[in-house]
A and B are shown apart, each in its own frame.
Chain A
Amino acid sequence: MDWQWAADHVDEIAELTKSHLYLALMPVLWGLLIAVPLGVLCVRLSWLYPPVFGVVNVLYALPALALFVLLLDFTGFSNATIIIPLTIYTLVVLVPNVVDGLRGVPEPVRQAATAMGFGQLRRLVQVELPIAIPVIMAGLRIATVSSISLVSVGVLIGQDFGGLGDLFIDGFQKNFMTPLIIGVVLIVLLALAADALLVVAQRFLTPWSRTRVVRGRTRARVARRWRPA
């Protein structure tokens, strides 16, 4: 590990980190914007879900490198070439989680909302989606972490398209370990930080679940103590 090299390249690394975050997080945002309406639609029209699920899973099997290259024909050397495939990958976790989350809303809750005079849209936004947040969040966390780690493959297309992945090529060509280690460590740290932020966000978005979790845990512990050894 050559710390001097790291100190000399701080500006460059900061720049790469910025572009890495942009290329990784835009797909998550787009993915969410697509997955929520699509998931809602799949719950409404239950015949739609199996084909959507199938298509999303087939798309997921496309190797990132291949998708980047194939898109070059249409989008050229632009950020879209990286962002579109990564958006597609986020859908494979986001769509099923939105659907499962919405389907997990207890029927009595739904009926109570209707009985209180909620229209379909208001029930969706104020009751069903909030209840589905923990499941959607679980998918969002996986999508975010995977996206942050996947961006680096983009560097095989062109230097400017892999964020911190640029450091991998640099290190490989110079047979020099320092940039590689910095790249991998930074990517893992970014992913963990983003994951932690989402956990905090979930706590704020679902204040009602906090107390319930604690109570559930104590109850489980008591139950375990009572079980014969």
Chain B
Amino acid sequence: MNLLSSAFGWLSDPANWSGSDGIPTRLLEHLDYFARSLALALVIAMPLGVLTGHTGRGGFALLSIANAARALPTLGVVIIVVLAVGSVTSLWPVLIALTALAIPPILVNTYEGIRNVDADLKDAARGMGMTGWQVLRQVELPVAMPLILLGIRTAAIQIVSTATIAAYVALGGFGRYIIDGLAIRAIDTEVAGGAILVVVLALLVGAAFIVLRRVLVPAGVRHQS
């Protein structure tokens, strides 16, 4: 409990709430990495997952690649791209590594969600004269939405907690407190405070998805699951 109280002491110190190393600045940086890499991952993974799930082709290859991508060590990927780009302040290494981290859960859940839509439902939609595109938009996507959102949620939480690694290559975000605090052995103040900030942010992201679920999942599907 000693650790918690000193961490909260650090968090409530007004000095840590202003300036370029202040919590608001670091929060914006953290959210910036988060939003960009999640957007990139969505743009890449969603169409691929929807396409393979809808056509049922290439699923096995897709799952194998996604599984292999899960094995990529984020820290190693960040450093490789840093060396390749030749700059520790470029945003790309972190964006690429975090996007690679976020793609597998989104891809796999989108694919599985759409592929596992009850065949009878799809046949009924076809029988009503829907085109392939309509079946996808009006039947498959809504029914698969809970699983798709779950994948995006996993990806989002992983990005928030892993974005801390950005600090190792001289970028910002909440990871700064952990890496800098570790360097000066300020474990029960700065490091613990930084860790708590990341956890709170991750919990808020998780909570945001509960709201998203209410908005995006149609009532009929929601009651079923």
Interface flag for A197 (CB, 8 Å): no
Contacts of A191 in B (CB 8 A): 68, 70-71
CB B23 to nearest CB in A, in angstroms, measures 15
B76:A60 contact, CB within 8 angstroms? no
The CA of A180 and the CA of B84, in the complex, are separated in Å by 11
Beta-carbon contacts of A170-190 to B below 8 Å, as 1s and 0s? 011001110011011001101
Interface residue SS majority, chain A: helix
Interface residue SS majority, chain B: helix
Kindly specify which of A5-13, A33-41, A142-150 makes contact with the partner chain. Answer: A142-150
Q: From the candidates B71, B161, B206, name the one contacting A148 in the complex (CB within 8 A).
A: B71
Contacts of B147 in A (CB 8 A): none
Contacts of B178 in A (CB 8 A): 63, 65-66, 69
Contacts of B216 in A (CB 8 A): none
Closest to A157 in B: B182
B25-80 residues at the A interface, CB under 8 angstroms: 67-68, 70-77, 79-80
The CA of A148 and the CA of B72, in the complex, are separated in Å by 9
Interface flag for A160 (CB, 8 Å): no
B73:A149 contact, CB within 8 angstroms? yes
Beta-carbon contacts of B183-200 to A below 8 Å, as 1s and 0s? 000011001101100110
Q: From the candidates A61, A141, A150, A172, name the one contacting B82 in the complex (CB within 8 A).
A: A172
The CA of A62 and the CA of B83, in the complex, are separated in Å by 28
A57:B206 contact, CB within 8 angstroms? yes
The CA of A62 and the CA of B199, in the complex, are separated in Å by 5
Q: From the candidates A61, A72, A187, name the one contacting B76 in the complex (CB within 8 A).
A: A187
Interface flag for A212 (CB, 8 Å): no
Chain B CB within 10 Å — which of A141, A142, A168, A192 has the most?
A168
Interface flag for A100 (CB, 8 Å): no
Kindly specify which of B12-20, B134-142, B162-170, B217-225 makes contact with the partner chain. Answer: B162-170
Q: From the candidates A65, A145, A157, A181, name the one contacting B165 in the complex (CB within 8 A).
A: A65
The CA of A146 and the CA of B194, in the complex, are separated in Å by 24
B191:A69 contact, CB within 8 angstroms? yes
Q: From the candidates B71, B119, B164, name the one contacting A187 in the complex (CB within 8 A).
A: B71
B199:A152 contact, CB within 8 angstroms? no
Interface flag for A200 (CB, 8 Å): no
B72:A188 contact, CB within 8 angstroms? yes
A interface with B by C-beta (< 8 Å): 57-58, 60-67, 69-70, 72-73, 141-142, 145-146, 148-150, 152-153, 155-157, 164-165, 167-168, 171-172, 175-177, 180-181, 183-184, 187-188, 190-192, 195, 223, 227
